[in-house]
Structure 1
Amino acid sequence: MVAIIISNLTNLYYPEVLAELTQRLSVKGIRVLLFSLAAESEVDDVLDQVWRYRVDGAIVAARLNPSQLAAFADRGVPVVLYNRIGEGLPAASVCCDSTSGEHALVEGLVEAGHRQFGIIAGPADSYVGEERVQAAQKRLHQLGREAIIVRGNYDYESGDTCLRELMKITGRKLDALICANDLMAIGAIDCARINFEMDVPRELSIVGFDGVGPAKWLAYQVTTVRQPVRRMTEAAVSMLIERIEQPGILPEQRLFAGELLPGQSARLG
């Protein structure tokens, strides 16, 4: 039996990941226990529940601190981290190269001549969201640009409320918006068109990240970076089974490149 620990934030990306993981484990005859988090900071409470079961391993799409990683090791339960790396202690992990993806988005926006940047981040305890924001912010700084950062909650409403906040801060001079996920980008696109009567992307370019299905809808066609979910979940399951069958295998990190998907929501150079 394998435990899957994953965030239940309003995020279109994670249901896809969960479906792929459970399908791959089921094909191999492995039962799955699902533990969902309202926020990544709630891991301790969920682990208390996990230890009540005799799990053979775990795939965790949440931030684990050194003491939490040590708890898995002390119990002899192998763990594979999904889209994050171990903090303080080495751990097996599967990650999308968010840094390269954000760099590609930023470079395209700068080359297209954008000057006033905004970033809609996710919750502060989200490892993936912070990695994306820091990568975008660093690359902008290297290219002589700065960005105003506001925080959302990965949901559609955040795209609306955060864009309103950025417009107020910039005096409606914002011309490029980087969102930490596609759902916030979709919310921002609707807000820009309906509430500010702006042409996207002529007046405002908006980019996301993940490459979820709705981002491809004709009404949005979000410029984004697609994560190779199938390859990443296949690797996560394979690595976990190896560690269940062969305890003591050294930790390794597998990094997968994302695919830049130019859409109709942004002008890229």
Structure 2
Amino acid sequence: MTKTKPPQALSAADQKAAILREDRRVTSYDVAMLAGVSQSAVSRCFKPGASVSKATYARVMQAAEGLGYIPNAAARSLITRRSNTVALLISNASNLYYPEALSELSQQITRHGKRALLFTMQSESDVGEILNDVWQYQVDGVIAAAALSEAQIAECERRRVPLVVFNRHLRDSHVASVFCDQYEAGRMLAARLAAAGHRQFGIIAGPEESVVASERRRGASDKLLELGLPAPALAYGCFDYGSGAHGLRQIIAQLGRAPDAIICGNDVMALGCLDHARHELRLDVPGELSVAGFDAVEPSNWLSYNLTTLRQPIQKMALAAADLLASLIDAPCGGAEKRVFAPQLIEGATARLTPRPTALAA
């Protein structure tokens, strides 16, 4: 009579073959048995940042690859009581700035061993409805590129879900945030254009409900007022290309002529304004009209545009937001830290940024 070898006496090849013959999902126990380590050692090998020796890691990875093992995220979340997911709340998908921000945020969240769960909104006023969906996924934290009310912030606190507000400055709220100072950005752009000799301004602002749009508009308007210049003609848009042309027509109707300079609430509207000025109104840009925007999205750098704009340090902001959220997940009482970044002026070809030369007296 032939005796069957006990499992521990089987060779590695025999153990692997025996496991693969069974019609079931490969588990961490199978990997541990094949690698000759404990099950907890296998778990540590698949946990980012966990302490494990190089030799153990190599044995576990070799066994896992041979068995085709994939960690069960759902099972792990039951043990750790974390879903390892982070909700990203993004509004205004038509703005070309957001795909860049989304890509950077996703990469930085992944660096912390978590996955981004995307929730999009047509407008920031939809954030309440989106949050109702977010709670169903038991996320470990939220990064919101949208303005939240005090009640919504309190709801995050009640549910013990760490929150970081991205590219929004909620001045009266004690909530962690990472943002570029949009108010100062508006002031910077207005000051630079005024110093170049522009006197009559128009502003094509973004949606009135947008915190970013409001801060940029207020900053530019306040600076022009401080400089003693006429109040700018104002039009509102939706951050889309068509709003640029529509806004320029509105401003010309208000003033009875084209202004010296147009400040647009984002680059997409600036490109629409620029195309309409050049191709429909036959205006010389920047000879007769200067046009500037915000965000430095990729098309703004195209040769046919070369837009004057302000660039936000998106990569640095995304890194800061992910790091800040990770620290709040690990230490929920970490406080409401605010990290502020400054924009960079991109001196394109669509705005005159130096004074015109004056004629010499005879």
Give the TM-score taking structure 2 as reference length: 0.73
From 86, 107, 110, give the equivalent of 2:191. 107
CA distance in 1, matches of 2:131, 2:171: 17
**Matches for 1:3-152 after TM superposition, within 5 Å:** 3-86=87-170, 88-145=172-229, 146-152=231-237
The verdict on how the C-alpha distance between 1:187 and 1:268 changes in structure 2, with shifts beyond 3 A counting, is same
From 278, 284, 305, give the equivalent of 1:199. 284
CA deviation vs aligned residue, 1:90-123 (integer Å, no higher than 9, x gap): 0000010222322221112111211211000111
CA distance in 1, matches of 2:145, 2:223: 26
More helix by share: 2
Q: Which residue of 2 aligns with 1:252?
A: 337
Structure 2: gaps (5+ residues): 1-84, 355-362
From 262, 268, 272, give the equivalent of 1:177. 262
Aligned residue type for 2:332: P
Q: Which residue of 1 aligns with 2:59?
A: none
Structure 1: gaps (5+ residues): none
Give the TM-score taking structure 1 as reference length: 0.97
CA deviation vs aligned residue, 1:60-110 (integer Å, no higher than 9, x gap): 000101001000000000000001133543000001022232222111211
| Relative contact order, higher structure (CA 8 A, sep 6+) | 1
> 8 Å contact 2:251–2:258 — kept in the other structure?
no
CA deviation vs aligned residue, 1:216-240 (integer Å, no higher than 9, x gap): 1111111111000000000000000
CA distance in 1, matches of 2:135, 2:182: 32
The verdict on how the C-alpha distance between 1:2 and 1:211 changes in structure 2, with shifts beyond 3 A counting, is same
Q: Which residue of 1 aligns with 2:318?
A: 233
Q: Give aligned pairs, total.
A: 269
Aligned residue type for 2:131: L
> 8 Å contact 2:93–2:120 — kept in the other structure?
no
2:168 matches 1:168: no
> 8 Å contact 2:180–2:340 — kept in the other structure?
yes
Q: Which residue of 2 aligns with 1:267?
A: 352
> Identity percentage over the alignment?
46
Task: Report the aligned-residue RMSD.
Answer: 1.1
